[in-house]
Chains A and B, each alone.
Chain A
Amino acid sequence: MAPLTRADVEHVAHLARLGLTADELARLEGELNHILDQYARLAELDTDAIPPTAQVIELENILREDVARPSLAPDLALVNAPGRAGDAFVVPAILGGD
């Protein structure tokens, strides 16, 4: 697989919503490529007929009764909010304008 370029690293950082400095981007380019080199050996294994394991315990459809029950009180749920307006979190505007 072709090595990650600086532009690839910047693209992934944007997808991950990580604001990185130029120094961090440069260091990560080298480190990520070094780590990706370790992944290459997985290609040695023929896994075409092997089913994937996403989780290891055989539990399925763990559901509770569909009835309302007490939850965190609003004051408690909002206790760590960086910005609060009444019983709501202040969120950044995503639609533009005011």
Chain B
Amino acid sequence: MAGPTGASDLTILAAHDMADRLRAGETTSRDITAAHLARVRTTDRGLHAWLALDEDRAMVEAEAADARLAAARAEGPAALGALHPLLGIPVGLKDLVSVEGGQCTAGSRILEGYRAPFDSHVTERLRAAGAVILGKTNMDEFAMGSSTEHSAFGPTANPWDLDRIPGGSSGGSAAAVASFQTPLAIGTDTGGSIRQPAAMCGVVGIKPTYGRVSRYGIVAFASSLDQVGPFGRDARDAAAVLHAISGRDERDSTSAPVPVPDELLALPASDDEAASWLRGRRFGLPREYFVDGMEPGVAARIREAAAALEAAGAAVEEVSLPHTDYGLASYYIVAPAEASSNLARYDGVRYGLSVRGGGEYIADYLATRGEGFGPEVKRRIMLGTYALSAGYYDAFYLKAMKVRTLIRRDFDRLWADGFDAIVAPVSPGIAWPFGAKLADPVQMYLADACTLPVNMAGLPGMSVPCGLSDGLPVGLQLIGAPWSEVGLFRAARAYEGITAGAAWRSVRPRDLLALRDPAIATPAARAAAAAA
């Protein structure tokens, strides 16, 4: 049976519905996994959401999950109830998450052929929960970019419009979840790289509080900003993944000793019950996030979402985050500075591409890094190296760290005033056509103006679908105080509840079965046509 996007009835389910059927013995992880692998095979020529699939390993993991389910079913309801909801459910990993023995390119030529010698913390936690890892998803090189066009292996297309970008840098993960290739995926977010592609592909994504999820085994970009988080098609699914991957890990010194809230697994199934949480809540709507040049359709959807929250009994007050406008400049000092330092490790000696330059040892470094890195990564390394170079540290890096304090204090004031969360746009626009922002890096950077202050302040931020503009998805951003992920998920689930009957909820990505046609253009060909 084919669903509205051509997905089979197993792939169209939410992960929590798959979990229910697995426990009831109505289906198996093998069937679920095989259906998703088939879906990737038939649709990914036209999407290019994946850089690697490991079908054999996925089927072995699915078989192990089925064995655990059978044993628990034989033992009784208590044993079944103790299983993690991710048991037997497929998940995709952004290709910067280490899986022992597998590739981990970070979207870069410099890591082509590299094999991860160990599992990341996130990989370990997903395995412990029993999730089935399907493979690795496409991304902007070293997570630097907002469109996935900076992948060294070619761009990913947006499932809603194949001539448009899916957002980035975790564009492969977002597109894979939106196109029913996998119900769940992992991404990373340094300045918006989970929330922005989630918004543009119409799925749920959350960047957790800095310190919530260990980065051990994940390729570093900017270490004071990087955070790992999940994608799902609804709040409950994303919350279950966050539950699985969170928690203290002594191998990441920024991993905080904060308990993992079990409430993440107890979000209400009932729309009415979920919506009732809104009564008496207080949300701030920051005026500075309605930036110049914002698409009117996006601003309208955000204001409609705010009105819907009010109609359900919450207070939504216009607030000010006065230093928002300085976020972009300070972020584009801090992030490249940290990146230039982190990426110094790619020296062609211990792993990765190694090119002989001819002559002194420095020539080898110059040749290896000159050939191995793409244009956006080179730009950021140059910016960061300059900002940290002798004579400029105070003017750039120190100044940016001080502005970071001001940005954080803006948010702190709202939490002290008793706001439960901030509601805001994720991105000033919808998914743009391939190539539209490649010529001017600053235009690409501006796409993250509403997300990067959240990384600078270390806060949890989430994107939930809130309607369409010109037929393409718009994301509502929910921002909370540190460690308030449960509150954000309750708000997101409540918003799903009050909009469950909205007409836009029944609109899905285009019929992706057309992608089975071997003559369909690849995203790389579409991007090349756009550039011509």
Contact = CB atoms under 8 A, between A and B. Distances in A.
B interface SS class: helix
A39 B329 contact: yes
Interface string A38-58: 110111010100111111110
Given A35-B445, A50-B406, A51-B405, 9 more contacts: A12-B389, A15-B389, A18-B369, A18-B382, A28-B382, A31-B441, A35-B383, A35-B442, A45-B406
Interface string B319-352: 0000101101110110000001000100111111
A interface SS class: loop
Interface in B351-385: 351-354, 357, 361-367, 369-371, 373, 375, 378-379, 381-383, 385
A45 B329 CA distance: 12
Given A51-B402, A80-B115, A38 B329 contact: yes
Interface stretch (B249-257, B494-502, B512-520): B249-257
Given A18-B369, A18-B373, A59-B253, A50 B405 contact: yes
7 contacts: A4-B386, A35-B332, A35-B383, A39-B396, A55-B224, A59-B256, A82-B351
Interface of B: 114-115, 117-118, 210-211, 224, 250, 253-254, 256, 323, 325-326, 328-330, 332-333, 340, 344, 347-354, 357, 361-367, 369-371, 373, 375, 378-379, 381-383, 385-386, 389, 395-396, 398-406, 408, 440-442, 445, 457-458, 482
B382 A56 contact: no
Contacts of B403: 42, 45, 47, 50
Interface string A74-91: 001101111100000111
A16 interface: yes
Interface in A1-56: 1, 4, 8-9, 12-13, 15-21, 24, 28, 31-32, 34-35, 38-39, 41-43, 45, 47, 50-56
A41 B369 CA distance: 32
Contacts, number: 161
Contact of B408 (A12, A17, A42, A53): A53
B328 A32 contact: no
A93 interface: yes
Interface centre among B117, B323, B332, B458 (most CB of A within 10 A): B117
Nearest to A44: B326
Given A19-B357, A79-B115, A79-B117, A28 B379 contact: yes
Nearest to B367: A19
Contacts of A19: 357, 363, 365-367, 369-371
B228 to A, nearest CB: 15
A76 B350 CA distance: 12
A45 B458 CA distance: 22
A5 B323 CA distance: 31
Given A41-B329, A54-B401, A28 B378 contact: yes
A84 B210 CA distance: 38
Contact of A81 (B326, B340, B351, B482): B351
A8 to B, nearest CB: 8
A62 interface: yes
Contacts of B362: 17
Contacts of A20: 370, 378
Contact of A57 (B330, B404, B458): B458
A82 B405 contact: no
Contacts of B401: 52-54
Contacts of B340: 16
Contacts of A43: 399
B352 A18 contact: no
Interface centre among A54, A81, A82 (most CB of B within 10 A): A82
Contacts of B344: 17
A32 B349 contact: no
A1 B406 CA distance: 23
A94 interface: yes
A38 B256 contact: no
A68 interface: no
A47 B402 contact: yes
A39 B379 contact: no
Nearest to B354: A82
B414 to A, nearest CB: 16
Nearest to A77: B117
Contacts of B441: 31, 34-35
A50 B442 contact: no
B254 A59 contact: yes
Interface centre among A18, A59, A62 (most CB of B within 10 A): A18
A55 B385 contact: no
A94 B361 contact: yes
A92 B349 CA distance: 8
